[in-house]
Structure 1
């Protein structure tokens, strides 16, 4: 028996030429417990002349959106918002393409830093340091986060707002929630938070642009991070990280502050290691005070003393013994809460130093020590396991067990036991048979 709601949508289908599958999807934004309301909405679309655009049918996506409605409704999303957003929506093909891309190329840290901390980006950062001096001063005083760090994240995330992404965030998140079932709960949670942002009027749905993975605005917040940390600097009632630079910068400062930023302290120091250094200390987990590192012969690369010998630090060598070494302080790991990649946090720290007049790194990179791709890392792990250096499952990811095994292998061959997985090491291993 055809219900009143189904009849209403059948009218829309016949008049608009929309397939039954897509028309069924129109009901996602309507409280299906109220068929009269569904009919009113359907007929209202006809009478107002607002025709539903035809789209390529995707029964699975239609079903996903329909099934998500109870969860969204329970989170306070209205049928009006839901229908406005999802009417006519189909999966974002670019998000699907980028989600499925499994690049085997790993960018060396020196190439990453060269583009991330370019002269142009440094120059623009210095200009913005002056342009937003008053705003940054107030944000720094309010949140206790150094202005150059805030600017550096802005520069890294969107090149100071010049490229915030061209994807509609809600469409991208819906696509990921639908097409990435292993992380479906995560993407669905982000999607519903994004719907709430639109419903609360902080940004129009049509203006909610960001990355293919749902990161939004000048400093690329995910919706749940926006909800937890976004700030209304200008007091207009909206936490607008899309068009308000002060709101975006204050939001970033709030994020860093809430994760433990230490005011007036640096992220780390480039250091020089002594001859005969015990590389077992460079395991990215051994924490010593700067004074203790100094007693191990570790000195600042520029020859200056550490200003606060009591500060704790961890020794990090992003490219092994063939590249610069750094003692990383707490603020470095706060930056990693924004993006967990060591190269990213190093770039943010270096860019922040350059913006306030710092120079380039002193050490050079041994560029033949290229990092391994995931497939090559898996091959290296299999070779280590075969030789009795147990790394566990060969998963293509370099973790503590793999670094420990590499060190043991390097020590057995009389090499510097830095634990760094490189193409040179894999080649040496293959030669050894």
Structure 2
């Protein structure tokens, strides 16, 4: 029995040593390049827990792919629309200031927060330290990405004076009302109420300013539309549909190909042609620059359309 246990331990040893060695290398890197005290950082990482349930959630395949009709029903519920209008009313001055500062209309900032966390109600219950530690050192498929995010997380908690064991977020480490990953926090989070902190967890003003800044930094063009419906699409237009989300054509090119859309928009606007599948058949939309910017938040045409349509419905309720 003793020999069997010894053999099993020896069999497991390379994996254990590998994990420890990667943590040690990470601590050494953070000490040399980011000025962390190695002993203090080790104490922090010793408090992190490997979460098998997080690994399981990362590995769990999607049950099925949603079409646009199904996706729309999830995110354009009356409750999400009504609470979005309440969020707007509560933060009207801040949202107006964000639009003046960054050029992003309030409805799309509100819609992002509504889609991501239901206006802060579903912002995640997992410790960010546990999530990033688990995925950095125990999830080889995405280890490089999550090791970089763990580094950014430790930097932001140090810079913001936060205890790294306390913030909570999604099982993938996304944080706050707008679900920023640590790298996005460092790049785009702002102190929008001037209190000296970038609190995207509890401070709605900071969350609003940060989402608007994210859009602005990704090329949002103030005053231009997001998307418009397109008609007349047939099988000969496949080259437009297959070209992806990035605007690679002009509205003029689509019109020359026989497609119809709002004549008020000029031929020179760049666009993609977006196909959305529904139970009743496909819908086609011109994905203009600002639509593409929304997809930089989540690289999905379904996500961007949900944000757009939710925002427009919230705007209608707000104006009523």
- TM-score per shorter chain, which class? 0.7 to 0.9
Equivalent position to 1:67, from 25, 28, 43: 25
Q: Verify the 8 A CA contact 1:81 1:199 in the aligned structure 2.
A: no
**Which residue of 154, 159, 169 maps to 2:118?**
159
CA distance in 2, matches of 1:173, 1:352: 32
Matches within 5 A, 1:231-380: 231-273=190-232, 278-285=237-244, 287-300=248-261, 305-319=263-277, 322-357=281-316
Deviations along 1:253-282, one digit per CA (max 9) or x if unpaired, are 111111100112221112222678644433
Residue of structure 2 in register with 1:176 after alignment: 135
| Pairing 1:131–2:90 present | yes
Is it true that 1:150 corresponds to 2:109 in the alignment? Answer: yes
Matches of 2:205 and 2:293 in 1, distance apart?
Answer: 21
Structural RMSD (CA): 2.4
Per-residue CA shift, 1:188-232, capped at 9, x if unaligned?
111011111222235332431111111111101111111111101
Shift in Å at residue 246 of structure 1?
0.8
Distance in 2 of aligned mates of 1:279 and 1:65:
49
Tell me, in whole angstroms, the C-alpha distance in 2 between the residues paired with 1:355 and 1:309: 30
Q: Which residue number corresponds to residue 74 of structure 2? A: 115
In structure 1, the partner of 2:61 is: 102
CA contact under 8 A between 2:233 and 2:284: conserved in structure 1? no
1: CA distance, partners of 2:293 / 2:315:
20
Contact 1:210 1:216 in 2 (8 A): yes
2:35 to 72, 76, 81: 76
Q: Alignment partner for residue 144 of structure 2, among 160, 185, 188? A: 185
- Asked whether the 8 Å contact 1:210–1:217 carries over to 2, the reply is yes
TM-aligned CA deviation for residue 89 of structure 1: 2.9
SS at match of 1:326: strand
Structure 1: runs of 5+ lacking an equivalent: 1-57, 359-433
Kindly state the Cα deviation for residue 181 of structure 1 after the two structures are TM-superposed.
Answer: 2.1
SS in 2 for 1:272: coil
Give the whole-Å Cα distance in 2 for the aligned partners of 1:282 and 1:68.
44
Q: TM-score, normalised by structure 1?
A: 0.64
**Cα pair distance change 1:249/1:158, threshold 3 Å:** same
Q: Secondary structure at the match of 2:176?
A: coil
Secondary structure, counterpart of 1:207 in structure 2: coil
Cα distance in 2 between the residues matched to 1:84 and 1:335: 39
Indicate the residue corresponding to 1:205 in structure 2.
164
Alpha-carbon shift at residue 233 of structure 1 (Å):
0.7
SS in structure 1 at match of 2:119:
coil
Q: Residue 318 of structure 1 aligns to a residue in which SS?
A: strand
> Map of 1:37-48 to 2, 5 A cutoff?
none
TM-score by length of 2: 0.84
Q: Is the 8 A contact 2:47 2:165 kept in 1?
A: no
Q: 1:249 to 1:240 in 2, by over 3 A?
A: same
Larger radius of gyration: 1
Ranked by relative contact order (alpha carbons within 8 Å, sequence separation 6 or more), the top structure is 2
TM-superposed deviation, 1:313: 1.6
Unaligned runs of 5+ in 2: 1-15
Whole-angstrom CA distance in 1 between matches of 2:106 and 2:43: 39
Shift of 1:59: 6.6
Shift of 1:342: 1.6
**Residues 108 and 308 in structure 2, CA contact (< 8 A), matched pair in contact too:** yes
Distance in 1 between the 2:115 and 2:18 partners? 37
